[in-house]
Amino acid sequence: MNTFLIEMEKFISNTMVLNSTKVRYRKNLIDFAMFLKESTNTELQDLHLEKMYEIIDRSGNLLAFKPINEALIDQYFFS
């Protein structure tokens, strides 16, 4: 599973658009990554869209991860 930054670079490098569009894509995706970093208290290099939320039991043990959801995306667009 790749990090958000790796997936972002793959997407941009494989997209058949003008370089100026790739620059805009990169800027917008970095802005979104910074929002996710702040929202989830995660380091930028550790962001995984499949591992956005931790599910922890009462003892503090990690049970599972939840992926990014529409509520977080909506929060980004409304901010």
Residue ranges per domain, the chain?
A: 4-78
Kindly list the distances between the CA atom of residue 62 and the CA atoms of 48, 51, 54, 55, 57, in Å, as whole numbers in the listed order: 16, 12, 7, 6, 7
pLDDT tens per residue, range 20-46: 999 999 999 999 999 989 988 888 898
Look-up: residue for tokens 């490098």?
A: 13
pTM here?
Answer: 0.79
For the beta carbon of residue 49, count every other beta carbon within 10 angstroms. 13
pLDDT at 1: 67
